[in-house]
Structure 1
Amino acid sequence: MKRGVALEDVLDAFSMEEDVSTQTLERYLRVYPQYVEALSDLFHELNLVRFEAEATSDAEVKAAFQDFETDAVGDRGQDEESLFSKDSIKRAAKNLGVSRAFLAGFRDRLVIAATVPPRILKQLAKALGQSEKTLETYLRGEASIGTAVAFKSDGQPRPPDQISFEAYLKSFPDEADQLARLMDSDGRD
Structure 2
Amino acid sequence: MSPPDKDAVLDLFACAYRGSPDALAAFVATYPEHAEDLVDYANELNLQRECGAKRSITPADEAWIETEVGRMSATRAAAVDPFAGLQPAQFAETRKALGVPSVVVEAFRDRMVNVVSVPLPFLDRLAGQLRVGLAELVQFLEGPPRLAPNLAFKADVAPRAPAVKMSFASILGQAGVSPDRAAALLAEDD
TM (norm. structure 2) is 0.48
- Greater relative contact order (Cα 8 A, min sep 6): structure 1 or 2? 2
